[in-house]
Structure 1
Amino acid sequence: MNPETLKASSQEAAKVMQLLSHPDRLLILCLLSEQECSVGEIEQQLDIHQPMLSQHLNRLRQQELVSTRRQGKYIYYRLCDGNTKTIMELLYQLYCPTN
């Protein structure tokens, strides 16, 4: 890999790792890697309250790790980045053993 491509790739990876470094954002991504959820469902399941939840979801959406869809008055979030899905699966295998 040439140095310019390597530099660009490392910058992109660093952005994702910075987002994953916050425990609440990591929890949100763990949940969304399993299922699509509304804001209310995320808040209830993870006990992360407004406005902090909105800030985290906004950062994840800005970096295009999650996407949204509106159904009536509810907004649903889902993981939309394949690389992040792979990272979440690896983290789950390493830190959330099933035994």
Structure 2
Amino acid sequence: MEMSDMKERATEVADVLKTMTHPERLMVLCQLVNGEVSASQLQENSTLSQSAFSQHLAVLRKNNIVKVRKESQSVFYSLADKRIEALIASFYKIFCE
């Protein structure tokens, strides 16, 4: 890999990590590592207000870390990228086991 490509990748990885590093966002991602979860279920495990929590979900969506599926009036979230899933699984193994 050339240095210019490596720098570009480093910037991409740094942006992903910056997005993930808020504790509430990490908790969302940890809940999604096993599959799709409804927004209401995610909210139940948060101490934030619904408005503040929604802002964190928006940040994750905007940065393509999670994807959304709507079914009737329910909204479901899942991880948008297998690399994010692997990263969260690694974090879990290192810090939570």
- With the shorter chain as reference, the TM-score category is over 0.9
User: Which position in structure 2 is the counterpart of 1:74?
Assistant: 74
Cα contact 2:46–2:53 (8 A) shared by 1: no
State the TM-score, normalizing by the size of structure 1.
0.91
Structure 2 Cα separation of the partners of residues 48 and 95 of structure 1: 23
Cα contact 2:28–2:42 (8 A) shared by 1: yes
Aligned length: 97
User: Which position in structure 2 is the counterpart of 1:63?
Assistant: 63
Displaced runs of 4+ in structure 1, greater than 6 A?
Answer: none
SS of match in other structure, 1:88: helix
State the TM-score, normalizing by the size of structure 2.
0.93
The CA RMSD over aligned residues, in Å, is 1.1
User: Which position in structure 1 is the counterpart of 2:34?
Assistant: 34
> Identity over the aligned pairs, expressed in percent?
29
Gaps of 5+ in 2: none
SS of match in other structure, 1:46: coil
The Cα of 1:85 is off from its aligned counterpart by: 0.6
| Higher mean C-alpha displacement, 11-20 vs 39-48 | 39-48
Q: Which has the higher contact order (CA 8 A, sep 6+)?
A: 2
The Cα of 1:41 is off from its aligned counterpart by: 0.7
Structure 2 Cα separation of the partners of residues 2 and 19 of structure 1: 26
